[in-house]
Amino acid sequence: MNYSFRKKNKIVKYIVIHYTGMKTLKLAYKKLSDERSDVSTHYLISRNGSVFNLLCPKYKAWHAGESKWKNYKYINDYSIGIELENKGHEFGYSNYTYRQYHSLKKLINFLKKNFNILDESIVFHSDISPNRKQDPGEKFFVNKIGINRFNMSNTKRKYSINEMLCLYGFHKSYIKKYKKFCIMAVKRSLNYKYINPYLSKKFSKDFYNLLFS
């Protein structure tokens, strides 16, 4: 078994975007749909834009693993998982294709309507498991699917890095334990070419603009 029943009190609130991180689509499809594997997903989008619905969203897929976001833990309970075909950082990370963005945009708009999901609830695997995961990574441009994840109004002109990490959505325990990984996850969100945990004036400014504009 690689999926489970959702509990009645845990409603779908988030969409988690992943990459497959495997050498071929066939391998990813096989693993994600194999009942003997310990992973699964609801949707898989190939590089040519085909959408495979591997599991009905009414069931809980096992895509996120150990994960936290805002005040939630075990994000599988609250989310729909979408995997984008990409070899990933291990096997040859490449740009996502136009067709993938096109299909993803359509799928996300459909899911947003059906499950009342907000733009701010479209999250990356690297956001909810920053210490373990890098996907979908710095080559994923969320604006290409018409999503504005952060549209916050600022109440002051300057925020500390920790305040911004909290506003971004990282779980408090992750900010405490894995601050460097959280910073790297934000850099992926900002589509930085080089991902490192170092702070700079430029980063603070980019981070501020990501949240408030």
**Is 18 strand, coil or helix?**
strand
Q: Is residue 138 among the annotated active site residues? A: no
Closer by beta carbon to Zn ion, 49 or else 65 = 65
- Please name the residue that has the structure tokens 């990282």: 170
Q: What is the largest CA-CA distance in the chain?
A: 52
The least distance separating Zn ion from the CB of residue 22, rounded to whole angstroms, comes to: 11
The least distance separating Zn ion from the CB of residue 92, rounded to whole angstroms, comes to: 17
Does 125 contact Zn ion by CB under 5 A?
Answer: yes
Calpha distance 56→58 (Å, rounded)? 5
**Which residue type does 168 have?**
Y
Among 77, 85, 127, 135, contact with Zn ion (rule: CB under 5 A): 135
Piece of 18-26, 46-54, 65-73, 154-162 that binds Zn ion (CB under 5 A): 18-26
Tokens of 25: 């689509």
- Please name the residue that has the structure tokens 């190939």: 46
Residues belonging to the chain? 213
Does 127 contact Zn ion by CB under 5 A?
Answer: no
Closer by beta carbon to Zn ion, 82 or else 164 = 82
Piece of 4-12, 101-109, 131-139, 142-150 that binds Zn ion (CB under 5 A): 131-139
Calpha distance 64→74 (Å, rounded)? 8
Taking residue 175's Cβ as centre, other Cβ atoms within 10 Å add up to: 19
Closer by beta carbon to Zn ion, 18 or else 42 = 18
Closer by beta carbon to Zn ion, 19 or else 168 = 19
Q: Are 124 and 17 in contact (CB under 8 A)?
A: yes
Does 171 contact Zn ion by CB under 5 A?
Answer: no
Given 83, 90, 120, 138, the catalytic residue:
83
Does 68 contact Zn ion by CB under 5 A?
Answer: no
Select the residue whose beta carbon is closest to Zn ion and give its number. Answer: 18
Tell me how far CA of residue 82 lies from CA of 46, 90, 155, 193, in angstroms: 11, 19, 34, 24
Q: Give the residue numbers marked as catalytic.
A: 83
Which residues in this chain contact Zn ion in the complex, by CB under 5 A? 18, 125, 135
